[in-house]
Amino acid sequence: MTVGLSDGEQRRVKDLVDAFNAVKQDLMAARYLLWLASGDESPIREHAAATSQRAGFLDSLMYARWGVRTGIAVQAFAAATNLLDKVACLVHLYYCTRRKTTAVSFRYLWHRRTQKNKPDVMDAELTDQFADGRDNRGLMALCDLSCDLETESPLNELVERRHSATHRFLTVHSMLLDSDETNAEWLERVDWYELTEGAMRLLSTARAGIIYLARTIDIAEQAAAEHRDEGADGTGRRGFLPSIPLFRASSEHPDFE
């Protein structure tokens, strides 16, 4: 990215870099948590089992799983679904839209929440990206993926389960019978492999969303550079704004821990 010399522009690109780092960090952490919980070579199996013994879980005779690794798997699932919302937030941060942060989610990436039977209207700042024949394929891919959450799709089913994992009760079972799926309004029961496989699918989708996001910004920056060149004066010199110098950050800080 190239930016101007004003404090506001310098701060904006730093905010964008840190926001993108946060999304990548959350993706890595969610993948790592899922591996710790379900990986055959997970190094925490014995320690997690010993820790789980310190809590008195009661057996409801429904083949439910309780313990640290099961809890980590639920947390990984929830973190994977949250990633898509953060991708949507970064889109709006980059394009400086007038949407409030509390009104941004991946389901409503390209339009605000509307009343029933009212048409969806794309945010003006996003509509501008397709004006004059421009074609930002990254943004189009994100909008298309967002539409999956407004239909009865496999992705929508997984994201809807997030509410049980974060706000209500998601219980995991080694074996789940059809007769056990009751009282779903408050408590959702899920098979262990269904939970972990669903988390892996969500992580794969979130990774694709992050790639689409990077492509969105890359295309927009290239278009901005071409626009600056076209606006250069008659001296023959290319229009130019300095790039902010960025170096690889340290991933651990033991001196501060």
Q: Is the predicted pLDDT of residue 51 greater than 70, yes or no?
A: yes
Q: Report the pLDDT value the prediction gives residue 23, as an integer from 0 to 100.
A: 96
Mean pLDDT within 121-132:
86
Mean pLDDT within 10-16:
87
Q: Report the pLDDT value the prediction gives residue 223, as an integer from 0 to 100.
A: 82
What six digits make up the tokens of 244? 């902010």
Give per-residue burial for 1-37: e unless 16+ CB within 10 Å, then b.
bebeeeeeeeebbeebeeebeebeebbeebbebbbbb
Q: What is the mean pLDDT of the chain?
A: 86
CB 219 within 8 A of CB 202: no
The string of pLDDT tens digits covering residues 130-155 is 877 778 999 999 999 999 998 889 99
The string of pLDDT tens digits covering residues 194-248 is 999 999 999 999 999 999 999 999 998 888 777 766 655 555 554 455 566 677 8
Question: Which has more confidence, 65 or 184?
Answer: 65
What number of other Cβ atoms are within 10 A of residue 137's Cβ?
11
The residue with tokens 């110098």 is: 245
Q: Report the pLDDT value the prediction gives residue 180, as an integer from 0 to 100.
A: 57
CB 91 within 8 A of CB 216: yes
pTM comes to: 0.85
Tallying the residues shown for the chain, one arrives at 257
